[in-house]
Amino acid sequence: MAETSNLGYPRIGKHRELKRVIERYWSGKTGEDEVHAVAKEIRAAAWAVQQQAGIQHIPSNDFTCYDHILDTACLWGLVPERFNHTAGEPVSLATYSTMARGGDHVAALEMTKWFDTNYHYLVPEFNGPAPQRTGNAPVDAFKEAKAQVGDAAHPVIVGPLTFVLLGKHHTKSIADHVNDLVPLYQELLADLADAGAQWVQIDEPCLVQDRTAEELALYTSVYGELAGSSKRPMIMLQTYFGSLGANWDTVVALPVEGFGLDFVRDGGNLSDLQSKGFPEGKVLTAGVLNGRAVWKADLGKTLGLLETIAETVDRNFISVAPSCSLMFLPHDVRLESSHDADVLANLSFAEQRLDEIAVLAKGLSEGRDAIKAELDADATRLSKLKASENNSTRERINSLTDADFNRPQAFSERVAAQQQHINLPPYPTTTIGSFPQSPDVRSMRLKVRGGKITQAEYDSWVQGKIDELVAQQEAVGLDVLVHGEFERSDMVEYFGEHLGGFITTEHGWVQSYGSRCVRPPIIVGDVYRDHPMTVKEVVYAQSKTSKPMKGMLTGPVTILNWSFVRDDMPRSEVANQIALALRDEVADLESAGIRIIQIDEPALREGLPLRRAQWAEYLDWAVKAFRLSAGGAAPSTQIHTHMCYSEFNDIIESIDAMDADVISIENSRSNEELLRAFTTNKYERMIGPGVYDIHSPAVPATDEIVDRLKNAANVLGSDILWVNPDCGLKTRKDEEVWPSLENMVAAAKAMRETVAAGK
């Protein structure tokens, strides 16, 4: 009989309970006890849902109060010295929070994207104390789960190689760091076995990336040691986000009891399975349901995939599973009420994925007749499913020429025209765009959506907020202002609400990082724009100041990557459809007199395929989509873009090819490592390396910012530098924002004095 497995579950709570309690803790309104109590309730609810759905392998230790990689770093005592942690002691929630968010003049761990997802993990550092086990969290979580769901519970831990490979500041070889951890993993496996764990899921997603011969040899060595431990559970070596490719032979030869493979992302694993076979007597966790998409599975087609797999692997050794953790999906479609039943019938969130797993396992075990009713109902659904088409969009896509993807003037020509029109001082100051979304902002948005106030009343209120913000920015002395984005719930969801071809959800929350949750819109048809989306607020803000006001748009690739995308046409074509809509918005902003327009692309790097051989194709269409969105702008219009929390070194040529006039980047958490990417390749456009970390509540001192600017000027030169925070200010509080901006402006003025003095 085929079994059922899940690899991980959303950890924010069905109604974002984790967000609320952890933010209360950070603000000092509650203590650790309530955090732990709410966390326990979230875990219990998740296990209950999975058990009721018939999942036979239910993950434990997949929950986290902030990030699972941070949890792993704390488990192994890898707490950098700047956090004043006593080596070997358990990491307190206070220290844990400071590692995640920073503190008073203490930089947080660097944050970057988890593979090619929109989830951010905290990067472990390996230049501090030697690893040692400081707690018992995986064992405690397993015992808690076992008490509720019995032998179905299986602990999940991050594998030693993935953990080290994703880290930074390595003071010795990768092999030496991994080997330092092996005895700790062996001890943990023994403790899990003593607690009654029959299986342990060890996640090694780095195996779907290009790996060197030395790294693959290390996998062989390490898992030989772990599998050879005298006491341990059976090991399910879990991979996801792609195929093993050239790593296949090494992986399936490892002496573990099972392998988890992704059969959704591409056909590589199925091809290798059919051509090379599978080790006899080993269990295959077959990831056949998309853990990163919300479209309901084609049950007949997916069962066919399982039947094909079963031609090579005995059905009794197959466990049906999602392609990855379900943490990337919202909780439950049944919470939605604002769309027609026909629309919702085609969606599958985390709870619905569990039901699909159970149905497919039954079909694989007992035959198609056993699930005939489900197959027939799904076939009827699919016969009605058709993405909406927009003739105007299709005509524009078909008529595109090379000229549409290029601004006709070179940057060297544009920059002179822009300076003449905008006339900014050296080290011009600005922000990334958003300002704090305080409780009153969120409350008013809920009131207008709920019909408690009229749209006119809401618009008037937003204008009042803009009035206040413009005055505050002028008082602080910023050079380029923004309108604050008070009308926007999220930088992607907002555009999903205004563009044709999208639907948005009421409760479709997913975790981006820590307590930050977003509701990705869903692309259900051709994308088009039938009205201006941002012009009204930006033009109003410009009317309140003589300083330049920056128009704020989210770029086509970011909207694409941070949405749930239709699966019936190439992503590149969807990106171009979005780009055309944004191009129209740029034209309307220009016509209204806005001369600085920022088109944010923080997700361009995260969409990069995990295999280098596939990079060129993606970067080609992704860069073109950005250029299409900005290609109609006049030379005197300054196009900005913002990119955050990504490693840019490998794609700097593509960033240059985007042809933006100004780029702002995260720089504060990465200890200015990103600057090297822009110097090695002689980046000659204007750049704003973020001068302080907005995810930290700490207010940066003026001297700290001056030092960062001096370092940047020494590397890049002063004539191309902008001064800005490293990301938007939406999640911060006013009492953190304004002192930080005051110090930032003071630092910029100090740097201007050095320019004036010729130093």
**pLDDT, tens digit, for every residue of 37-65?**
999 999 999 999 999 999 999 999 999 99
137-168 per-position pLDDT tens digit: 999 999 999 999 999 999 999 999 999 999 99
The mean-pLDDT minimum among 156-170, 599-613, 639-653 falls in 639-653
CA atoms within 13 A on the CB side of 362: 17
Structure tokens at 229: 């431990």
Question: How many CB atoms are closer than 10 A to CB 440?
Answer: 11
The pLDDT score that the predictor gives to residue 759 is 62
**CA-closest candidate to residue 639, choices 606, 686, 604:** 686
Tell me the pLDDT tens digit for each residue of 478-534: 999 999 999 998 899 999 999 999 999 999 999 999 999 999 999 999 999 999 999
Percent of the chain at pLDDT above 90? Answer: 85
Block residue for tokens 């748009």: 553
Six token digits for residue 55: 């999942």
Residue written as token pair 């020429």: 401
446 — pLDDT class (breaks 50, 70, 90)? confident
Report which of residues 358 and 696 the model is more confident about.
358
* Cα–Cα distance measured from residue 411 to residue 704, given in angstroms and rounded to the nearest whole number: 32
What pLDDT was estimated at residue 731? 84
What φ, ψ does residue 31 adopt, rounded to 5°?
Answer: -115, -175
How many whole angstroms from its chain centre is CA 275?
A: 35
The C-alpha R_g of the chain, in whole angstroms, comes to 26
Q: What is the rounded average pLDDT for all residues in the chain?
A: 94
| pLDDT bracket for residue 203 (50, 70, 90) | very high
Reference 160, options 218, 97, 79, 228; nearest CA is 218
| Catalytic (active site) residue 695 | yes
Answer yes or no: are the C-beta atoms of 727 and 644 closer than 8 Å: yes
Q: What is the pLDDT of residues 359-371, one digit of tens each?
A: 999 999 999 999 9
Query: Is residue 385 predicted with pLDDT exceeding 90?
Result: no
Given a cut of 60, is residue 676 above it in pLDDT? yes
Q: What is the DSSP letter of 85?
A: P
Is pLDDT at 379 greater than 60 in this prediction?
A: yes
Question: Cα(125)–Cα(168) distance, rounded to whole angstroms?
Answer: 5
pLDDT in tens, 98-138: 999 998 889 899 998 899 999 999 999 999 889 999 999 99
Q: What percent of the chain has pLDDT over 70?
A: 97
- Look at residue 694 in the predicted model and tell me its pLDDT: 85
By C-alpha distance, which of 204, 202, 238 is closest to 115?
204
Domain boundaries 3-14+53-65+111-123+148-384, CATH class:
alpha beta
- Which pLDDT belongs to residue 650? 77
Tokens of 510: 């997913």
> Which entry of 85, 177, 640, 695 is annotated as an active-site residue?
695
User: How many other C-beta atoms are found inside a 10 Å radius of the C-beta of residue 314?
Assistant: 14
Placement of tokens 């005298």 in the chain: 230
Domain with CATH 3.20.20.210 in the chain: 3-14+53-65+111-123+148-384, 411-756
Treating both helix axes as pointing N-terminal to C-terminal, what angle do 350-366 and 32-52 enclose, rounded to 10 degrees?
30
| pLDDT tens digits along 685-726 | 999 989 998 878 889 999 999 999 998 898 888 889 999 999
Going by pLDDT thresholds of 50, 70 and 90, the confidence category of residue 675 is low
Is this model's pTM higher than 0.75 or not? yes
Based on the number of CB atoms within 10 Å of its own CB, is 535 exposed (0-12), middle (13-18) or buried (19 or more)? middle
Write out the two tokens for 498: 């205004």
DSSP letter for each residue of 603-641: TTTTTS-SSGGGHHHHHHHHHHHHHHHHTT--TTSEEEE
Full DSSP string of 637-684: SEEEEEE-SS--GGGHHHHHHT--SEEEE--TTTTTHHHHHHHHTT--
Is domain 411-756 annotated with CATH 3.40.1380.20? no
**CA–CA distance, 417 with 413 (Å, rounded to integer):** 7
